[in-house]
Amino acid sequence: MKALLGLLFAMLAGTAQAQSVGECDWRASARNLVEPWEQNSRTFANGAVRVALLDTVEPAAGAFHLLVISPPVNEMGDPQCRVISYSDSIGFSGLTFGGLQAQYDPAIGLGFAIPGTEYVPEDDTTGYRPIYLLLTLNQQTGDIQTTIERVGG
């Protein structure tokens, strides 16, 4: 896992596929928070950052998204709210929230690695491929960078 987190901080220089990072919308509805909440939501940076797993149910092969609530805050004191998805219109096939790892690097910010799966319809064996969703969060600017690392080729 330490090697994976090292890769996370090196990813900014790479050309790996970026995922969709968007404003909170219908995907971030409270009804989409995966239960039990205490097992599928964590806080970081003394509570300033919250990450939670979302399940929109459909499409079944891409229903999982990641919610990130973090600084910076607006003039009203509201933190930014972002949803990370596989693409603009579809989520991940699966995200294993219990496997979430986090690390802080002062030069980059908070880094996260979460195991999951992506839907690969051309895969004749299972239709799914294991991945890691990697992301960095700069709390000062609110910038979130994402990529996936495919496991086993």
The sign of the torsion formed by the CA atoms of 94, 131, 79, 27 equals negative
How much is the pLDDT for 16? 55
Give me 39's structure tokens: 């097992």
Spatial distance between the Cα atoms of 32 and 103, rounded to a whole number of angstroms: 26
- What is the reported pLDDT for 126? 80
pLDDT of residue 5: 53
Over the Cα atoms of the chain, what is R_g? 15
pLDDT tens series, the chain, 153 aa:
555 556 555 554 444 556 899 999 999 999 999 999 999 999 999 999 999 999 999 999 999 999 999 999 999 999 999 999 999 889 999 999 999 999 999 989 999 999 999 998 887 778 899 999 999 999 999 999 999 999 985
User: SS3 string of 79-144?
Assistant: EEEEEEECCCCCCECEECHHHCEEEEECCCEEEEEEEEEEECCCCCCCCEEEEEEEEEECCCCCCE
Give the C-alpha separation, 80 to 147, whole Å: 20
pTM exceeding 0.75: yes
The pLDDT, as a whole number, for residue 3 is 58
Q: DSSP label at 14?
A: S
Q: What is the dihedral of CA 56, 65, 23, 102, to 10 degrees?
A: 150
Separation CA 152–CA 47 (nearest Å): 35
